[in-house]
Chain A
Amino acid sequence: MLELNNQYTLMKRQVHAEVLKEFFAGTLKENVDKLPIRIIPKQRVPNRCCIYKERAMVRYRIMALLGINIESDDDELKSLAEYVEEVMETDKSAAPILTTISTACSSCPPDRYLISDACRGCFARPCLANCPKDCITFSGGQAHIDESRCIRCGKCKEVCPFHAVVHIPVPCEEACPVNAVKKNEEGYVEIDYKKCISCGRCAMSCPFGAIVERSSLMPVVKMLGKEEHVTALIAPAIEGQFPGTLSQIKAALLAAGFSSVLEVSEGAETTSLHEAEELAERKARGEGYMTTSCCPAYMELVDKHLPFLGERRSSALSPMGYAALKAKELNPATKNVFIGPCLAKKVEALRLKTVDAVITFSELASLFIAKGIDVRELEGSDLGDTSSFEDCRQFALSGGVASCVLSRFAPSHEVQVLPVNGVDKKMFRTMKIWEKRPAEADLVEVMCCEGGCINGPGVVVKPSVAMKLRGGNKAAAPVKAMRSVIQ
């Protein structure tokens, strides 16, 4: 997957912030068609073929931010202003979560193995000896691969003493664990939504930014502008995503117009309790392994690809589910907005019906920028009594869910935990095997993103930075601590 810090991420964030600034200034409809030109001025040295294509891409990114399904609703004759008008009147349905920009797609050739100039045409020729399809030939003192016979097993790459064999993947296809990303007849990317589990890996992998998420920011900023009670349900992963403490983040959300803030970790406590109880019951009945149920991409994976796991997963609602109920309990009229690192949560929200919109940390950051909210400058807002669910903030990390369940589990039992830390193609194959040969564990904790939610598609910072800033509601401290180390 792409390193988070790249030109595309920065461009996307700039586009989001500029659009929201116009929105809050009340001039979005008037100026939206000028934004592509303002963001890509003619002096710019383009990364794509020319500034005009870059401007066209900014237009599509704005459409995705407005929540437009680019695949089905792209009308080139329509101005962005007309789209804005539409979106202001009625909210677009959030499904499907992803959409593709075919003109951004570079239509990468199929993945292949290639022998580079580093090949010395050696005497031993392990590539030749180990290729199962005899597709290596030698000419001009170098090895070559016969494309028509190659089965892409990678054996030649493994055995070459000069590391001369390179694998050139198709990043989106390689990233998709369930083969939902394919090329159409023209060679452009297409998503098979019947297979897609909305994990967002493809969107995080495409170096051309051709797969984008459809944002729910517009419905949310519209909500904030009305006289409505809006609750921000903040995912446990939020700590460390902004330069400030958790209580400062809460203050920033209130300043941004949310009426109240509820930590989803509070819901995570209920999830842990429920799963601990269920685990005890299942163990008593000798039913074998149980899986967690908090990762929405995993839920989709089970529903669409691994139905036999349906009875294995816990019946507990996700932390978001319980937190949403809690918020409605506190104020039945409230609108719930889940703020997390996850795209698949949007699918879950559509199913649950207690969550009205889902936005990502990255989108929240552009909201802060557009409103001129500096998280670090704010005085922290009281988080209330968090003692009972403080440990549940670890739900954001791989291994964290299992540890919260275990700490609420009667200690007399021996529980074996199997963490599934990221679901890629290989892990998906392993999980398929469980149908015939059950996983050897009592509790299987599944997180589709490696490292947990702090590595999700909607994060602001990479996990290493987030980990530095997390912990004990004193996220700003590490900066000072590091300073004292230096001196």
Chain B
Amino acid sequence: MGKKEKVHVQICVGTACFVQGGADLLLYNEFLDPAVLGGCEIEGVSCIGGCKEAQSKDRPPYVRIGEKVYGNVNQEMLCKLLAEATRA
């Protein structure tokens, strides 16, 4: 089996995201399935601009998984999103 490329995950820790729940996502080592964790490359990054897109229905915290930006991300949702992303 060829080595799969890791999913690149950026957790926004701009002040707004950090304050609205993004900080909790930084505990990913504790709440993510180790198998999923192994398939991802996760980092905390400065504002990824999710909040600045006008008319956006989403709210902080934002997370970028690969190319796509997701809003309203909580621990549970991140587990689900990453499980899907690593399976794909």
Contact = CB atoms under 8 A, between A and B. Distances in A.
B44 interface: yes
A14 interface: yes
Contacts of B13: 243, 376, 479
B47 A486 contact: no
Given A461-B23, A461-B24, A462-B24, A243 B16 contact: no
A377 B29 contact: no
B27 interface: yes
Contacts of B28: 482
A202 interface: no
B20 A14 contact: yes
Nearest to A487: B41
A14 B19 CA distance: 10
A465 B23 CA distance: 7
B63 interface: no
B41 to A, nearest CB: 7
Interface size for chain A: under 10, 10 to 19, 20 to 34, or 35 or more residues?
20 to 34
Nearest to A465: B23
B44 A479 contact: yes
B18 interface: yes
Nearest to B11: A479
Interface in A5-31: 5, 10, 13-14, 17
Nearest to B13: A243
Interface stretch (A75-83, A270-278, A365-373): A365-373
Interface string A282-318: 0000000000000000000000000000000000000
B42 interface: yes
A468 B26 contact: yes
A287 to B, nearest CB: 45
B11 to A, nearest CB: 8
Contact of B46 (A365, A374, A461, A482): A374
A377 B47 contact: yes
A243 B20 contact: no
A479 B20 CA distance: 18
Given A10-B20, A461-B24, A465-B27, A483 B14 contact: no
B21 A5 contact: yes
For B15, B20, B41, B47, the residue with the greatest tally of chain A CB atoms inside 10 Å of its CB is B15
A242 B26 contact: no
A483 B6 CA distance: 12
Which size class do B's interface residues fall under? Answer: 20 to 34
Contact of A485 (B19, B24, B29, B43): B29
B69 interface: no
Given A17-B16, A376-B46, A465 B37 contact: no
Contacts of A479: 13, 26, 43-44
Interface in A366-402: 366, 368-369, 373-377
A479 B46 CA distance: 12
B24 A5 contact: yes
A368 B20 CA distance: 13
A460 interface: yes
A352 to B, nearest CB: 29
Contact of A483 (B41, B47, B74): B41
Interface in A191-249: 242-243
Contacts of A368: 15
A278 B28 CA distance: 45
A243 B18 contact: yes
Given A486-B40, A487-B41, A374 B47 contact: yes
A426 interface: no
B21 to A, nearest CB: 6
Contacts of B43: 479-480, 483
A479 to B, nearest CB: 4
A14 B43 CA distance: 25
A464 interface: yes
A297 to B, nearest CB: 24
A108 B24 CA distance: 30
Contacts of A10: 20-21
Contacts of A13: 19-20
Interface of B: 13-16, 18-21, 23-24, 26-29, 37-38, 40-44, 46-47, 59, 74
6 contacts: A5-B74, A368-B15, A460-B23, A483-B41, A486-B42, A487-B41
Given A10-B20, A374-B47, A482-B28, 11 more contacts: A13-B19, A17-B16, A243-B14, A369-B15, A374-B15, A460-B23, A461-B18, A468-B27, A476-B44, A478-B26, A479-B13
